[in-house]
């Protein structure tokens, strides 16, 4: 049988067929966009800190630090991501401080957590809380100045207060040698606290600590200018504050996927409010680098200014967070400190610190409770005069401006 030729479509039928094809294509495109949005929203809703690197054996590592963050497309972030970082001063555990912790622990253990109870809301209220461990923690008999050894129970209090990462590059890092470095790392890891600045191996030193915060990969690097006159047991035992090394490490962190790099420096001249020439020169070198987002520091036992250097805010010195220092040995300001709260923005243009707020704190003796000066004025009226004087000293030294403000901005 002869096959009949197919009937030619009318103009109206051809138009209807083209309309159906266009509608199907549009549905497929919207389905793809919806899938991307669901993934991005779910990722952005998570505020968890996930880390990669040798310090993160107790947490998820690797893949989360390498994956593209929430809101990022092929050309970078479509929408800005904003997160907050807390940085504070020396956990300087003199003998009277650990003796107080022993008293709080009933005499047979050490409980440091109550000393930080009043500042805990400021630590837990940020996306990335960072602490500075000044002294080594080992199971040996505790000691104080001038060669420190702190009970490892401090690590548990660090975790309980809300800190999730600490730097361990400090004047007293090497007071107990490489054993002290290793034991401190062991104590922090047992408490599930990330760490950087001192190391148990060359590989650990070469591997940057990178954490994922609100979908953004954040590197944290730490260095010290001094080590109590003690030479390093190994080249990799503790990071030294040497500009070429810091810049190289920041570049390595970027190459490993970091989108923001925070650098902590233990530096300066003790009991001097103004930054030293070393601090100024190093801050100038670091802030010129496009790889470095933020520079924070401590060491001198008094607070120092927050200043803009090459367009970037630098926290030169946070003072002591806790210590036994008073006017009996040192300036009145050695009982002062601050908790710096950095707001960091990450978008397709890069990462930057948009503003810094800071909480002036005062260490009350002889119970060694760390008090936020403004809030404690309402709750501890017996200390009102000392708290007001401490707040005024800190604000005078640190400063204020459009991008830098104390909390509270004024005392009643």
- Give the E-state strand segments of 199-349 in sequence order: 209-213, 216-224, 260-266, 294-298, 306-309, 312-315, 320-322, 336-347
pLDDT number for residue 334: 98
Q: Report domain extents, the chain.
A: 10-45, 46-406
Residue 211 bridge partners (DSSP): 51, 218
Residue 41 bridge partners (DSSP): none
Q: What is the pLDDT of residues 224-268, one digit of tens each?
A: 999 999 999 999 999 999 999 999 999 999 999 999 999 999 999
pLDDT number for residue 63: 31
User: Around Cβ 2, how many Cβ atoms within 10 Å?
Assistant: 4
Rounded CA-CA distance 269/279 in Å is 9
The third-level CATH classification (topology) of the domain covering 46-406 is Purple Acid Phosphatase; chain A, domain 2 (3.60.21)
pLDDT number for residue 67: 36
User: Around Cβ 390, how many Cβ atoms within 10 Å?
Assistant: 24
pLDDT number for residue 41: 34
pLDDT along the chain (412 residues), means of 10: 41 56 51 37 47 54 37 53 98 98 98 98 98 98 98 98 98 98 98 98 98 98 98 98 98 98 98 98 98 98 98 98 97 98 97 98 98 95 96 98 97 93
Q: Work out whether strand 306-309 and strand 72-73 pair parallel, antiparallel, or are unpaired.
A: unpaired
pLDDT number for residue 78: 57
pLDDT number for residue 163: 98
Q: What is the DSSP letter of 54?
A: G
Buried b (16+ CB within 10 A) or exposed e, 202-239: eebbebbbbbbbbbbbbbbbbbbbbbeebebeeebbbb
Rounded CA-CA distance 182/341 in Å is 30
Nearest Cα residue to 111 out of 102, 124, 99, 122:
102
pLDDT number for residue 6: 38
- Global confidence as pTM: 0.85
pLDDT number for residue 23: 53
């Amino acid at each position: 049988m002869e096959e009949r030729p197919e009937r030619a479509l009318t103009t109206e039928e051809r138009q209807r067929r083209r309309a159906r094809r266009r509608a199907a294509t549009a549905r497929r495109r919207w389905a793809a966009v919806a899938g991307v949005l669901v993934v991005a929203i779910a990722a952005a809703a998570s505020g968890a800190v996930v880390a990669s690197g040798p310090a993160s054996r107790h947490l998820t590592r690797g893949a989360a630090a390498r994956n593209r963050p929430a809101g990022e497309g092929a050309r970078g972030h479509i929408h800005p991501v904003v997160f907050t970082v807390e940085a504070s001063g020396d956990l300087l555990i003199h003998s009277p401080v650990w003796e107080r912790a022993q008293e709080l622990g009933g005499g047979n253990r050490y409980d440091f957590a109550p000393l930080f109870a009043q500042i805990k809301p400021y630590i837990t209220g940020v996306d990335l809380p960072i602490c500075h461990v000044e002294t080594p923690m080992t199971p040996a008999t505790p000691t104080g100045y001038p060669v420190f050894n702190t009970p490892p129970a401090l690590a548990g209090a660090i975790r309980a207060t809300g800190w999730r990462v600490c730097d361990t590059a400090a004047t007293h890092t090497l007071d107990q040698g490489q054993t002290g470095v290793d034991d401190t790392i062991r104590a922090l890891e047992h408490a599930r606290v990330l760490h950087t600045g001192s190391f148990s191996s060359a590989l650990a030193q070469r591997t940057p600590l990178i954490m994922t915060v609100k979908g953004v990969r954040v590197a944290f690097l730490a260095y010290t200018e001094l080590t109590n006159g003690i030479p390093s047991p190994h080249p990799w035992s503790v990071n030294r504050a040497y500009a070429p090394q810091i810049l190289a490490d920041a570049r390595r962190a970027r190459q490993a996927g970091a989108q923001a790099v925070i650098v902590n420096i233990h530096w300066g001249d003790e009991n001097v409010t103004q930054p030293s020439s070393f601090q100024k020169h190093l801050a100038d070198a670091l802030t010129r680098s496009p790889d470095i987002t933020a520079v924070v520091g401590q060491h001198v036992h008094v607070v120092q200014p927050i200043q803009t250097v090459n367009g970037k805010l630098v926290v030169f010195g946070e003072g002591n967070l806790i210590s036994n220092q008073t006017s009996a040995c040192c300036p009145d300001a050695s009982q002062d400190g601050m908790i710096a709260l950095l707001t960091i923005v990450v978008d397709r243009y890069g990462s930057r610190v948009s503003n810094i707020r800071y909480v002036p704190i005062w260490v009350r003796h002889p119970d060694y409770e760390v008090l936020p000066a403004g809030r404690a004025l309402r709750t501890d009226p017996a200390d009102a005069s000392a708290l007001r004087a401490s707040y005024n000293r800190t604000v005078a030294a640190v400063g204020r401006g459009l991008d830098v403000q104390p909390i509270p901005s004024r005392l009643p």
